[in-house]
Amino acid sequence: MNEPVRIQEADFSQDEEIAALKATSQRIGGIATFLGCARDFSEGRDVHEISFEAYGSMALAEMNKLRAAAIARFSLIDARIVHRVTTVGPGDNIVFIAAAAEHRAAAFDGCRWMIDELKQRVPIWKKEITPQGESWVTPHP
């Protein structure tokens, strides 16, 4: 079974990630997920591709810390974080976050917290390729 925290070029399967999560415990009563995918439009411009770059070793370490912190903070049963680092096109998957808990509130809260914190803490950068040229994305809150 895949590691619960990964950085990879290849696409991921949400079904496989959720199945892996469910296999960890029968006490799970709710799983909240976030799927980030590539848009074809940003800041008033068409986007043809998005290219990701990471400080891989640090990014993976930060994502593992994030997962551990979320499990502790929200009393999650388990959590998974997968981020692709490659070039993607509109509609392609980028990031998958899942939080499993006994009850829905913790799952929702933990899932949202992880994606919000990932954007703040994990050294990954995205570049949009548009008809007007390429530009690194300025982070959004």
Partner 1 sequence: MIKVLFFGPVADRVETREMQFEYTPGITLHDITAKIGMQHPGALSIVSFIAVNQNQVHDKQMALHDNDEIALMAKFSGG
What residue ranges bind partner 1 (CB under 8 A)? 36, 52-55, 57-59, 61, 83, 94-95, 115, 118-127, 136-139
Length of the chain: 141
Minimal CA–CA distance to 115: which of 71, 72, 81? 81
In terms of CB distance, is 19 or 68 closer to partner 1? 68
Beta bridge partners, 35, equal 96
In the complex, least distance from residue 23 CB atom to partner 1, rounded to whole angstroms: 26
In the complex, least distance from residue 24 CB atom to partner 1, rounded to whole angstroms: 24
Enumerate residues 6+ apart whose C-beta is below 8 A from 122: 54, 59, 62, 63, 66, 83
In terms of CB distance, is 39 or 103 closer to partner 1? 39
DSSP 44: T
In the complex, least distance from residue 113 CB atom to partner 1, rounded to whole angstroms: 13
